[in-house]
Homo-oligomer: A and B are copies of this chain.
Amino acid sequence: MLVLRKPYLLYVGDAALKTDCKTAFGLRDWCPQQVIGEWSRPNAPVTLGLTRLSPEQAAARGAGSLIVGVAPIGGRLPDHWLPDLEAALEAGLDVVSGLHSRLTSFPRLVSQAERRGVKLHDVRSSYLHQTVANGRKRSGKRLLTVGTDCALGKKYTALALARELSTRGVRATFRATGQTGIMIAGSGIPMDAQVADFLAGAAEALSPDNDSAHWDLIEGQGSLFHPAYAAVTLGLLQGSQPDAIVLCHAPERLHIDEYPDYPLPPLREVIDTYLAAGRLTNRAIRCIGLSINSCALDDAAWHAYRTQQERELQMPVCDPMRGGVAPLAQALQTL
């Protein structure tokens, strides 16, 4: 598993737009207790509203890593940011990035990290799992968030459930499978970067044996109905061996995003397809509810939609951003 050194100093360079800095804002909001400040180029247009600390100051306060919290179009690391990353390495911080252009492709950063005994983490790709899945049943309990499509709340739902269960005194761990999730959790496995033969093996390693009452809340990826990413979804599903799934959906999504020829089937069919595929490695898998990203609906429409789905599917329907996930946590606790 990829493990990051916390707490974090968040770096946004001189990114022009707040939306380019959504990784940094996500970390500020989801793990504030692990973020000790922000750093950027002089006159940077965007601020996170945190204490401004240089890498040296952050290191003195115990920081473990500088996180490049920016995802600009194209994903390139601008050359004029390099001196700031070098300053971080010099101060003894690891440097973590989710950009497409790899930190390890800059020889100066590589040699400097080596000299200082610190690490460069390209979260998208730097952890490659190398063992084949064994299919053995593991101890402990697991929930995987699955979706009708990408980008409709699978990470958010798993995080919200981990938090809700902890509040209820249930031992629970969020398991991250994508770059932002890994930065939030401080560890995880980037599923989409794995070699195909080792994908299910990576999912097995992500949620190892645990106490029988412990829940792993595993961040889902992609969709079994996605013509490009269904294989990632299947490897994660079967390697995770989940006891429970929560289906994530956005009601206005009628087809796979950017694939208009791929309409989404009825939710009942979506659920049945996930359960059939998941049964290969866990005969007892069940769907305990729906997590809906309802931001496109007004209050009346959301209420009507929720009532209708609950009646049709006979399971709790929540929006984590609109009332929380208590009904899902409750359903889990009865398993």
Binding site for B on A (CB under 8 A): 132-137, 191-197, 199-201, 225, 227-232, 234-235, 238-239, 256, 259, 261-262, 273, 276, 280-281
Q: Which of B192, B232, B262, B280 contacts A227 (CB 8 A)?
A: B280
Residues B229 and A259 in contact, CB atoms below 8 Å apart? no
Least CB distance from A301 to B in Å reads: 30
10 contacts between A and B (CB under 8 A): A133-B228, A135-B227, A191-B196, A192-B195, A192-B196, A196-B232, A199-B231, A227-B280, A231-B232, A262-B280
* Smallest CB-CB A-B distances: 6 pairs: A135-B227, A231-B235, A133-B228, A192-B197, A231-B231, A196-B232
- Looking at A225, A232, A261, the one whose CB has the most chain B CB atoms below 10 A away is A232
Interfacial chain B residues near A239, Cβ < 8 Å: 227
Interfacial chain B residues near A137, Cβ < 8 Å: 261
Bound: A227/B193 CA distance, A: 19
Interfacial chain B residues near A261, Cβ < 8 Å: 135-137
Oligomer copy total: 2
Q: Which of B191, B195, B225, B227 contacts A133 (CB 8 A)?
A: B227
Least CB distance from A95 to B in Å reads: 23
Interfacial chain B residues near A134, Cβ < 8 Å: 227-228, 259
Bound: A199/B197 CA distance, A: 11
Residues A227 and B238 in contact, CB atoms below 8 Å apart? yes
Given contacts A225-B280, A261-B135, A280-B225, contact A230 B196 (CB under 8 A): no
Residues A197 and B201 in contact, CB atoms below 8 Å apart? no
Nearest B residue to A235 via CB reads B231
Interfacial chain B residues near A195, Cβ < 8 Å: 192-196
Residues B135 and A232 in contact, CB atoms below 8 Å apart? no
Given contacts A135-B259, A135-B261, A196-B195, contact A230 B225 (CB under 8 A): no
Bound: A192/B133 CA distance, A: 14
Bound: A262/B199 CA distance, A: 18
Residues A227 and B199 in contact, CB atoms below 8 Å apart? no
Q: Which of B135, B197, B230, B276 contacts A200 (CB 8 A)?
A: B230
Residues B228 and A231 in contact, CB atoms below 8 Å apart? no
Nearest B residue to A194 via CB reads B196
Bound: A234/B136 CA distance, A: 21
